[in-house]
Amino acid sequence: MVSAKTISFGIACLLRGVQAGPTVKLGTGMTVQGRTSPIAPSVAEFLGIPYAKPPVGELRWEPPQPYEPKGYSVINATALPPSCWQYISVHPAMMRTDVPEFMIGKAGMSEDCLTTSVWVPTKAVGQAPELAVIIWFYGGGFATGGTDVPYQIPTKWIERSQDHIVVAFNYRINLFGFPDAAGATEQNLGLMDQRLAVAWVRDNIKSFGGDPDRMVIWGQSAGSVAVDYYNFAFADDPIVRGLIMNSGTAHLNQLMSNDVVYSNFSFVAEGLGCGNQPDAASELACMKKVPAERLEKFVATYEDSGDSPSITFAPMVDEKLVFSNYTERAARGALSTLPALATHNSQEGHFIAPYSVDGPDPAVAEELSKRYFWCPTYKTTKERLAAGRITHRAFYNGNFSNISPRPWFGAWHGSDLPLAFGTHADFRGNSTALEYETSHAIQDAYVAFARDPVNGLDEMGWAAYAGARGVVRAYADNNTAVGYRSLDTIESECEAMGLA
């Protein structure tokens, strides 16, 4: 469908006879009206382009359907789009209390949220496609996140590079993306959204000056887990040429739902007046009529209450998009042949340890770092190497006060992202010289990998990981922006714990 906003915007543009900013025409015939970045005139931004039909009404909890413009349409892509429905807990936590720029921003939330956004050097718009493309999968535990996250806006990165494109997109999360509902034909709808978005980029990125044969997908935390899920689910047709995984792989199985009897969905249905239905199909049909805000409010209120049992809506094994046997699949080569870049941080567990302004119990935080991030990354790397897949590794150890405002934060989970996106100096004061240098090194490596996932990092002196006790790239380690080191202690402990 074409919204009234889209139609009126198109008519207004026609009546004025002028263009408010950069414009591209897609193969579908749809025109996308973007804007010149208000903070970087060398960057064009095309924000909130629909890639799927709104997943509302009868399309709620259904596989995504490609967006189909009807007739002449101009898409107003000049403002950051709303994120998909989610709730932000009221309980104190590192991100919410001290660094809220990791949460979604001012664009709000909507069930009509399946959009892509493209950041591109202004000079590339309308030119022959040649730029490498990095496609961003946001994290947030499959429960939060979106395009509108202040720390994850790539404008300044594009301004500095002028040599690549970043595409971000929204995908359904929480109850809307992973309903675990007996009446639903598919449970991993958010992962299906991701695949459709990547296909949309392949089909349309030429119009923005991007090269569809030089695209990589990049995720962090749950987004990184999703990148690895994608690696296995679409092994024979990955579309992209490389994988960047920050702090998460398919072995981070703590994010997976085990609700095989679909009790969580039925619990919510009962609480909203859709219980006691004659069958699962009727339950789903009833729930499709409940306003989205009521659905999310019920989940938020119950979860924040601390009542037991907790309810979780997350990816679940379907043996199509999420598998039960990643080790076995890797051993028989049932994963893509794509090169990968896998990273983790030195204080990952700080953000999920019980929160205190004075810091977590160090032993608890380290244990969480190992079980959730360090060991799954090492295990995935070992399995990739055994399967003959090129894999580079990096370790981030930055402790910068404008990103880690309490001294004990350290290189916590996600703290590397502002350096990658170039937003590290946007909040709580300017960055140090070391912070800028580290940021530029991370950015340059990602762009080199996107341009050539096979050889790009080797050409800049970063060799692929060679095996246990091998050398990894180290960022902001020992007061040095870029260095190399072994992670032998971490790897040995993961092996001793049986986690690798």
Angle at 404 between CA 400 and CA 408, to 5 degrees: 105
Q: SS3 string of the chain?
A: CCCHHHHHHHHHHHHHCCCCCCEEECCCCCEEECEECCCCCCEEEEEEEECECCCCHHHCCCCCCECCCCCCCEEECECCCCECCCCCCCCCCHHHHHCHHHCCCCCCECCCCCEEEEEEEHHHCCCCCCEEEEEEECCCCCCCCCCCCHHHCCHHHHHHHCCEEEEEECCCCHHHHCCCCCCCCCCCHHHHHHHHHHHHHHHHHHHHCEEEEEEEEEEECHHHHHHHHHHHHCCCCCCCCEEEEECCCCCCHHHCCCCCCCHHHHHHHHHCCCCCCCCHHHHHHHHCCCCHHHHHHHHHHHHHHCCCCCCCCCCCCCCCCCCCCHHHHHHCCCCCCCCEEEEEECEHHHHCCCCCCCCCCHHHHHHHHHHHHHHHHHHHHHHHHHCCCCEEEEEECCCCCCCCCCCCCCCECCCCHHHHHCCCCCCCCCCCHHHHHHHHHHHHHHHHHHHCCCCHHHHCCCCCCCCCCCEEEEEEECCEEEEEEECHHHHHHHHHCCCC
**Spatial CA neighbour of 327 closest among 467, 500, 465:** 500
Burial 334-372 (b: 16+ CB within 10 A, else e): ebbebbbbbbbbbbbbbbbbebeeeebeeeebbebbbbb
Query: Tokens 């994010």 identify what position?
Result: 255
Query: Tokens 């720029």 identify what position?
Result: 101
Residues taking part in catalysis:
221, 348, 413
